[in-house]
Amino acid sequence: MTKYQDVFKRIEKKYLISAQQHQALMLQLQGYMTQDQHGLHTICNLYFDTESYELIRHSIEKPVYKEKLRLRSYGVPKSSDTVFLELKKKLKGVVYKRRIPLSLEEAQRYLLHHEQPRKQSQILHEIDWFLKRYQPVPKIYIAYDRMAFFGNEDASLRITFDQNILFRESILELSKGNWGKPLLKSGNVLMEIKIPGAMPLWLSRILTGLEIYPNSFSKYGNIYKYHLLPQVFPKGGIICA
């Protein structure tokens, strides 16, 4: 049976880069990073929020503390396939991610009908508390093709590249296929560096040389600000940071 990591603590930095920067960076990472065993794979997510989008509205205000809940699958799942229910928290720049594996059918019964999963855990109790506090519902589907790499000297250093980011606001089920509207301009890539502590000097030098700088880019946040918010307030009735 595959062993899944269920707890993560790390610093995550995001970078929105062009196709040219991506190509140049891949060349310079050779010898430092190795592609993980999954190769190019598709990640599908359902993001949960309150009816009034309380969680994402709070998140884009850049608070000291924020949290979110999502259901993730690798590829389009069937009812018996394993998916991951993830509670992600961020405190003072440090990300804490806790997740539990469930079958898609079990996850749907739990999230939509409040039927407890068979296997109990401390992480499940934390998610229970989140559900009772916010009473979230599925709000957005986001999927993308990801390539991931880990450091040759330190495997805890990870870099991911997300392309073909799609989203949809209806038919919010992971099993209904990978389709939607594009989020990024053609050729753009969302890179994320995940590190337990300080960034290696060699990596910092490579990024500086290619003029690649951090960009506070949230997939859900940008969808909300530029696609969902204009629909709710078409005349710009609310100013959002």
pLDDT score of 241: 32
Question: Strand 65-74 vs strand 82-91: parallel, antiparallel, or unpaired?
Answer: antiparallel
3-state helix, strand, coil in the chain (%, to 5): 25, 35, 35
Query: 3-class DSSP state for residue 128?
Result: helix
Q: Domains of the chain (ranges plus CATH)?
A: 7-232 (3.20.100.30)
pLDDT score of 201: 97
How remote is the C-alpha of 12 from its chain's centroid? 11
Cβ(60)–Cβ(239) below 8 Å: no
Name which of 191, 194, 199 is nearest 156 in CA terms: 194
Strands, E, within 18-136: which ranges?
33-35, 41-49, 65-74, 82-91, 94-103
Cβ(191)–Cβ(184) below 8 Å: no
Q: Note the pTM of the prediction, 2 decimals.
A: 0.92
* Predicted confidence pLDDT, tens digits, the chain (241 residues): 345 667 888 999 999 999 999 999 999 999 999 999 999 999 999 999 999 999 999 999 999 999 999 999 999 999 999 999 999 999 998 999 999 999 999 999 999 999 999 999 999 999 999 999 999 999 999 999 999 999 999 999 999 999 999 999 999 999 999 999 999 999 999 999 999 888 999 999 999 999 999 998 999 999 999 999 887 666 544 433 3
- Cα gap 182→124, rounded to integer Å: 33
